[in-house]
Amino acid sequence: MTTSTPEEARTQIVNMVREFVRRDVEPVAAQLDRDDETPHELINTMKELGLFGITVPEKYGGMGLDYTTFAMIFEEISKGFMSLSGAIGTHHILTYVLTHYGTEGQKQRFLPKLASGQIRGGLALTEPEGGTDVANLKTTAHKDGEEYVINGTKMFITNGRYGDAFCLLARTDPDAETKHKGISCFIVEKGDPGFRVGRDLDKMGYRGLDTCELFFENFHIPEDNLIGGEEGLGFGQVMSGLETGRINIAARAVGVAQAAFNAAIRYSQQRETFGVPISQHQAIQLKLADMATKIQAARLLTYDAAAKKDRGERVDLETGMAKLFASEACQEITLEAMRIHGGAGFIKDSPVERYYRDAPLMIIGEGTNEVLRLVIARQLLRRPEYQI
């Protein structure tokens, strides 16, 4: 009996996802985008493939995969329909926080259902008045006997309509010495009228996936839902989870950029002007060369950050760099792909029009690039190994 190596297992899993995207996702992506319709059948297939438990340890029913494979999976899905990767994006931040900071009871209670997709997870972090300024959040969690009472509003929440459980940050100590020390992390489940889903947000891109407002009005949860069982640690717990989120966002950007490049290079070899394919014109060749180079650089940054995460190294700087570069490159490449297509790229029948609308999500999501530049600079100034 022979067993596959980790590299062989990774190849098998990525090939499985690639085939799923080719067979089931690509034929319906344009329609899902047009209708802004959540693809429940595709999500159910993702559950069957085990993609809701990519990094959940095997002892809790997950696949226990490394973050390099995690990134490859997000890249492959995003080549077909980036929005679909959102169904498991913040879901995996919740599983990460539970895996690394939850009590054993919380892990036993939630992780098997999250890994199977029986429960779809999300991240209730952003608020209407403080998207980037997380430490200034207004949502409160007041201790009342053996329960917490939550009040507040969350905004731009992926999986908000059809998700079941959310990693929620709320203020438990309004008098804390520094704002972030007064924040705690909870897992909250739907089912009580005090937890209400608001409107579905009509987005420019990232369509075909539910993104909503969440309202908490005297919403009671048991104290056992305080992740880790200790108040005041939520900010650090979620910031750590966001490092993995930046790996998945960077990988999504690489996937969308690669899809745009693939469309552009195919079109350039089919479309003729002045008697030859436009790929023979130097102006187009220069664009293709720059696009391919930026994609490769973005991919290498992304997988370098994932590999360091796999080795247990500190990766706040590396994930920030990967997300920053990959998302900016994706925006540039999708625009160049549209320019190569000319007028054909400007109409909704062309997939490059969708890629162009999807690209800004990666610039904004999991920390805006403006904030990430500050994070990167501060780490460069603090870490002597980068001061050569």
The alpha carbon dihedral of 149, 181, 90, 311 has a sign of negative
C-alpha gyration radius of the chain: 21
HSE value, Cβ hemisphere, 13 Å, CA-based, for 168: 32
Contacts of 163 (CB under 8 A, 6+ apart): 91, 120, 121, 122, 157, 190, 210
Catalytic residues: 366
Residue pair 79/255 in contact (Cβ under 8 Å)? The answer is yes
Residue pair 28/83 in contact (Cβ under 8 Å)? The answer is no
Q: How many CB atoms lie within 10 A of CB 202?
A: 8
Give me the DSSP letters along 289-300. HHHHHHHHHHHH
Burial tier of 140 (Cβ tally within 10 Å: 0-12, 13-18, 19+): middle
CA angle (111 as vertex; 305, 127 as ends), nearest 5: 65
CA dist list (Å): 43 to 17, 62, 184, 229: 13, 17, 30, 32
